[in-house]
A = this chain, B = another copy of it.
Amino acid sequence: MKRPERRGRDSKIALRVAPISEEINPIKPGLIGGNYKPLSDSDIKKLYNLALDALSEIGIGLAPKSGINYMTKAGAVLGDDGRLRFSKSLVEDMIALSSKDLTLFGREEKFDMHLSGKRVFFGTAGAAVHVVDVEKKEYRDSTVQDLYHAAQITQELDNIHFFQRVMVARDITNNYEMDLNTLYACCGGTTKHIGTSFSEPHHVKGCMDLLHMIAGGEKQWRARPFVSNSNCFVVPPMKFATESCETMEKCIEGGMPILLLSAGQAGATAPAPIALAIVQAVAECLAGIVYVNSVKPGHPCIFGTWPFVSDLRTGAMSGGSGEQALLTAGCAQMHHFLGLPGGAASGIADSKLPDMQAGWEQGISNTLAGLAGLNLCYESVGMHASLLGFSLESLILGNDILGQVQRCIKGIDVNDDIVNIDVIRSVCIDGPEHYLGHQQTLDLMQKEYIYPDLADRTSPKEWQENNKPDIMKKTIERKKEILTRRNNIPLFDKEIERGIREKFKIYV
């Protein structure tokens, strides 16, 4: 292929320097996916019916007393074996009651996420116990400061739409203080929607107090709850996580949206067949739907079928596998079928470092999740070593990956204004026989194309002239620059900040 000459390069660079207006930028939060369908309609129905069978025949064990009360009142049946069983009609009544077209609020309205249909949002999540030091190639214990930094960086990255807690603040040994400081670090770093979890049910009260302060009052909090509770309410296979369920009840009371998270691991705590791991996760989350709606009908919740994958050679987790990507995409289709806002894991790397392996692992599973139209793609950036390590550099580069994935979700525009042969005719018959300077090309430069931030597209010659820039070095510099800048941007009002620090021991 002959490469066309470069013409009018200066004028194009000038155009590029102008910031892309939000209006014409082809990628926006909440693009509509769904052009990829790994499961057929009949597959989906089959899996749904199997999940219903599992709920009515096998049921879910270990519900707390309070939960048994709520759910048996609603119609669940407690067996002699201590398992709650749910009839098809009960489940379907509760699906009908359940929250749909949910909005997850940001602390700033511009970050609100309207979850409906096949709209796709990308964000973080996880409970990594390490942060990756890419310079030393080391894994060290993660701290609350690391978590704060991750939140600060996320605030600046347009292609990341929410921030669920990514790392455990291991420097805080008291679990209550850890929960509080986790919340503080997340909310202090970003005004995007936050997700977090609580170690114990009785921690919820104090954490709610903190959130009321941040919101400016309980009423304000309840009007726009900007934090959701990532709740592992089941221990797969098919058992309620008793304490987490109690936490969930308290969060419902406090007006906090619930992410009903079923985190089985195919081949270990979930069945090995991908389809059957989906069935179990759907069954478990449907039990969660019954639970939440028997406590409070319509309380906002997210259908978090979140099955992971085992590397069956070792039993270890493999979040970066093709099987993981399929599991997640298949789950998205189940959410659409049920008409419930849903989330799952995508973008996990098994690689320990942000290297080529991490690139394809994060790229492929985010692509499948996005094209399948998963509402909330959790763990989509920064996650390494199958969730054990979080990398700030990878978080930053992940923004480029997600930009590209979102470009793919946006798809191919075939509207008549731009898709007609007039431009081909004029270029070929009358014109310069190329499209470089054509008005349509200039018009579409920012509408049809997106440009990565850190990814390098120079020619080998330019690359050499630029002293062969190393993407990781560039990213480390970007990280430092963002953190320096953001440390001067307070996210809480001074008064609120003082109040919080008086009332709570803040480690950040």
Interface string of A405-445 (1 = CB under 8 A from B): 11110011110001111011101110001111010110011
Contacts of A110 in B (CB 8 A): none
Interface string of A441-464 (1 = CB under 8 A from B): 100110011110011111110011
- The answer to whether B421 and A54 have CB atoms under 8 Å apart is yes
A267 located at the interface, meaning its Cβ lies under 8 Å from any Cβ of chain B in the complex: yes
A202 located at the interface, meaning its Cβ lies under 8 Å from any Cβ of chain B in the complex: no
Residue of B38, B273, B276, B280 touching A35 (CB-CB under 8 A): B38
- The answer to whether B449 and A312 have CB atoms under 8 Å apart is yes
Among the stretches A87-95, A101-109, A165-173, A321-329, the one at the interface with B is A321-329
- The answer to whether B57 and A421 have CB atoms under 8 Å apart is yes
Contacts of A367 in B (CB 8 A): 363-364, 367-368
Given contacts A424-B271, A451-B313, A460-B352, contact A326 B412 (CB under 8 A): yes
- The answer to whether B359 and A363 have CB atoms under 8 Å apart is yes
Residue of B270, B360, B411, B436 touching A435 (CB-CB under 8 A): B270
Given contacts A275-B413, A428-B238, contact A449 B323 (CB under 8 A): yes
- The answer to whether A267 and B47 have CB atoms under 8 Å apart is no
Most B CB within 10 A of own CB, among A363, A433, A468: A363
A269 located at the interface, meaning its Cβ lies under 8 Å from any Cβ of chain B in the complex: yes
Number of this chain's copies in the assembly equals: 2
Among the stretches A2-10, A187-195, A219-227, A252-260, the one at the interface with B is A2-10
- 25 A-B pairs within 8 Å (CB atoms) are namely A15-B313, A35-B38, A36-B37, A36-B371, A54-B425, A137-B468, A238-B428, A267-B435, A267-B436, A272-B435, A274-B448, A279-B419, A279-B421, A280-B424, A311-B457, A316-B458, A323-B448, A326-B407, A350-B456, A350-B457, A355-B356, A364-B364, A364-B401, A368-B371, A388-B459
Count class of interface residues, chain A: 35 or more
The SS class assigned to the A binding surface is mixed
A351 located at the interface, meaning its Cβ lies under 8 Å from any Cβ of chain B in the complex: yes
A157 located at the interface, meaning its Cβ lies under 8 Å from any Cβ of chain B in the complex: no
- The answer to whether B457 and A318 have CB atoms under 8 Å apart is yes
A151 located at the interface, meaning its Cβ lies under 8 Å from any Cβ of chain B in the complex: no
A-side interface residues toward B, CB under 8 Å? 1-7, 9, 12-13, 15-16, 35-39, 43, 46-47, 50, 53-54, 57-58, 61, 81, 127, 130, 137, 139, 232, 235, 237-239, 263, 265-276, 278-280, 308-309, 311-318, 320-323, 325-326, 330, 350-352, 354-364, 367-368, 371, 385-389, 394, 397, 400-401, 403-408, 411-414, 418-421, 423-425, 427-429, 433-436, 438, 440-441, 444-445, 448-451, 454-460, 463-464, 468, 470-472
- Complex Cα distance, B447 from A27, in Å, reads 38
Given contacts A272-B438, A414-B275, A436-B268, contact A471 B355 (CB under 8 A): yes
Contacts of A58 in B (CB 8 A): 421, 424-425, 428-429
A269 to chain B, nearest CB (A): 6
- The answer to whether A315 and B356 have CB atoms under 8 Å apart is no
Contacts of A314 in B (CB 8 A): 6, 9, 12-13, 457
- The answer to whether A237 and B460 have CB atoms under 8 Å apart is no
Q: 5 tightest CB-CB pairs across the interface, nearest first?
A: A359-B359, A322-B407, A360-B363, A363-B363, A356-B359
A402 to chain B, nearest CB (A): 10
- The answer to whether A357 and B359 have CB atoms under 8 Å apart is yes
Residue of B43, B54, B435 touching A268 (CB-CB under 8 A): B435
A-B contact sample (6 more), CB < 8 A, given A4-B268, A12-B315, A137-B468 = A13-B313, A271-B440, A309-B449, A351-B456, A356-B472, A360-B360
